[in-house]
Amino acid sequence: MTTNPASDPVLSIVPADGLIDEERRIVVTGLALDELVAISARTRRSGGSDWDSQVTCLADAQGVVDLTRDAPVGGDYAEVSPMGLLWGQHPSGGAGDEIFADDVMQPLVTTLTAETADGRRAGAELIQRFAAPGVTRREIREEGLVGTLFTPAGPGPHPVVVVLNGSGGGINEPRGALLASRGYQAFALGYFKAPGLSPYITETPLEYLETGLGWVRRTLSPRNGFVAVSGQSRGGELALLMGATFPDLVSAVIAYVPGAMVHGAQGAGDPARGGWHGVTWTRGGAALPHLWQDNAAVHWHPWAGDAPPDRHHSVFFEGLKDRDLAARARIPVENITGPVLLISGRDDRAWPSSLYSRMVVSTLRRHGHPHLVRHLDFDDAGHAINLPFVPTTQLAREHPVSKVPYTSGGTPSGNAGADRGSWRGVLEFLDEITGR
């Protein structure tokens, strides 16, 4: 028995309102057997930019399309994916590439529309929240620190995660808010390109990060003294460096697409202080040796203003050929005294995060590291591993500091899988080591 083709379609989303990491079931009913329906999604994002996606689907014998079961027959993705309408979105017109809201305490609202060839339509709203009910946000401007504290609902104390951004700088509030929504007090700490801080990563003192860790321990009284550090890209390099430099202050390290050694300032560097080859980290006023410091093997780099190569990570393989310098620049991860989680993409075209993560794992094993070490390495994923169920289609973009274009790698589908899998892996890792 088929559905009356003249009936109006119904578009349902379950749950319609939830946290951004919650998968939804999107279903269209009221169609005819084998009727085609176009399903579109539009989200208003930072600065008023619209992001859009659309797929065409074929109804079954009951006049139903269920995106948890049915692959599109055409459109912006081509597989069974309950959330493909979200990760498959592209910015419309000249919209910017910022995928998060200006205010993480406000939800992202996506309007879904289902339309048949004869013009019958149905609509619904899908709401994605970063902050669960009761999560609080507080700006921190103490002891020279610049960050945002997110606290879960309910009585504390809570385990704490310090959240660091990458070479784009700023404060990673979306990840902080979502961690707090999942029961962890999160201190999203800026270390450059944030109010009152340097616009460049060049010569960032590790003492600033040490101050942040001390502030967390004194002020927040973490449950069982647990303070993890989580960072992305250059922040992943920094997270490993903090764990190795301040082992008594760091309980665990979560390193997204990290470097296994200290690098020069690269695309986030101050042109007046060495640019790409400038010093990134200092301690006690002295520069930490880095991979671009008179490297004998590197004869080019992708930030010189020429047309960028497709795979920027080639320069890092070249840099590692200067073995003496690589040994001096290596992060001594064997000094870390807690669990370590590494997250990488096998098609990372910004730098070889999969190789770097394997180097860290190998070093820890050689030194008999007594704590949990886990490496999540994702096929068809690049450098931009993010929160789940956000757009993954911007594979080439402009660096937010240097303004030079670069390619992050991966495929939209592979990156979406890494977003989902890495976030699930982070929560499992944290829950396991904190006993929650």
Structurally, the chain folds into a number of domains equal to 2
The DSSP call for residue 106 is: S
What pLDDT sits at residue 164? 98
CATH number at residue 414: 3.40.50.1820
What pLDDT sits at residue 292? 87
Q: Are residues 116 and 149 in the same domain?
A: no
Paired sense of beta strands 17-19 and 252-256, if any = unpaired
Q: Are residues 197 and 125 in the same domain?
A: no
- 233 catalytic per annotation: yes
What pLDDT sits at residue 97? 67
Q: Are residues 217 and 274 in the same domain?
A: yes
Q: Are residues 113 and 180 in the same domain?
A: no
What pLDDT sits at residue 312? 65
Is residue 241 included in any domain, yes or no? yes
Is residue 177 included in any domain, yes or no? yes
- Exposure string of 72-98, with b = 16+ CB inside 10 Å and e = fewer, is beebbbeeebebbbbbbbbbeeebebe
Annotated active-site residue in 301, 312, 383, 399: 383
Is residue 4 included in any domain, yes or no? no
- 70 catalytic per annotation: no
Q: DSSP of 206-262, one letter per residue? A: HHHHHHHHHHHHHHH--GGG-EEEEEETHHHHHHHHHHHH-TTT-SEEEEES--SB-
CATH number at residue 113: 2.60.40.2240
Q: Are residues 117 and 147 in the same domain?
A: no
Q: Are residues 100 and 194 in the same domain?
A: no
Is residue 2 included in any domain, yes or no? no
Which tens digit of pLDDT belongs to each residue from 128-169?
999 999 999 999 999 999 999 999 999 989 999 999 999 999
What pLDDT sits at residue 128? 97
Annotated active-site residue in 290, 348, 357, 369: 348
Q: Are residues 309 and 344 in the same domain?
A: yes
Q: Are residues 71 and 140 in the same domain?
A: no
Q: How many residues does the chain have?
A: 436
Is residue 3 included in any domain, yes or no? no
How far is the CA of 7 from the CAs of 11, 56, 122, 356, in angstroms?
13, 19, 11, 57
Extended beta strands in 117-199, E state:
121-129, 136-140, 146-151, 160-164, 185-190
Annotated active-site residue in 53, 81, 233, 413: 233
Q: Are residues 146 and 123 in the same domain?
A: no
What pLDDT sits at residue 297? 85
Which residues in the chain land under pLDDT 50?
1-3
Is residue 5 included in any domain, yes or no? no
What pLDDT sits at residue 3? 45
What pLDDT sits at residue 305? 52
Q: DSSP of 305-363, one letter per residue? A: SSPPPS-TTHHHHHHTT-HHHHHHHB--GGG--S-EEEEEETTBSSS-HHHHHHHHHHH
What pLDDT sits at residue 6? 58
Q: Are residues 92 and 143 in the same domain?
A: no
Query: Residue 170 and residue 190: Cα distance in Å, rounded?
Result: 5
The domain boundary, picked from 84, 107, 129, lies at 129
Q: Are residues 119 and 147 in the same domain?
A: no
- For the chain, the average pLDDT equals 93
What pLDDT sits at residue 300? 58
The domain boundary, picked from 96, 114, 129, lies at 129
Is residue 416 included in any domain, yes or no? yes
What pLDDT sits at residue 95? 58
Q: Are residues 373 and 308 in the same domain?
A: yes
- 357 catalytic per annotation: no
Q: H-helix or E-strand containing 174? A: helix 173-181
The whole model's pTM is what?
0.95
The domain boundary, picked from 70, 98, 129, lies at 129
Residues of the domain holding 227: 136-434
Backbone φ and ψ for 165, nearest 5 degrees, come out as -85, 180
